[in-house]
Amino acid sequence: MEREMTLRQFCKQAKIDPSNWSKIERGLINAPKSQEVLRSIADTLQLSEEDVSTLRDLAMFEAIPDHLKPEENILEKLPVFYRTVRGERPTKEELEKLIELLTK
């Protein structure tokens, strides 16, 4: 909406099938995990690098089977974990919150 694009315009520019994207939006199929597709989405939407990282994190999160997902409050901290694994440094506050959740 911020880019004033229709779903079809977005899909055409990002090279994504509109029918599949609609299913993703409705939660019927998982979001793409391909770095190439995620980069195309990010470029089309003119996302910041921080938003691109969040997009990747969310795609990775969806790959976790439901029966293996931990408690909800821990799931909120997965982006910090993913950034750390990628070599990005979390803030001290983010790290302390993650440690607190993991030790409970």
30-67 pLDDT, tens digit each = 888 888 888 899 999 998 888 888 888 777 776 666 66
Residue entry with tokens 């901290």: 77
In the chain, what percentage of residues exceed pLDDT 70?
70
What's the DSSP call for residue 67?
G
* Mean pLDDT of the 69-86 span: 64
Domain boundaries, the chain: 1-47, 64-104
For residue 26, the SS3 value is coil
Instruction: Please state, as a whole number, how many other Cβ atoms lie within 10 Å of the Cβ of residue 40.
Output: 16
**What's the alpha-carbon Rg for the chain, to the nearest Å?**
16
Quick check: 98 and 79 in contact, CB under 8 A? Answer: no
Residue type, 56: R
Residue entry with tokens 């995620």: 38
Split at pLDDT 50, 70, 90, the class of 85 is low
Q: Tell me, what's the pLDDT at 18?
A: 92
Distance CA 62, CA 48 (A): 21
Quick check: 89 and 96 in contact, CB under 8 A? Answer: no
pTM higher than the cut 0.75: no
Quick check: 54 and 42 in contact, CB under 8 A? Answer: no
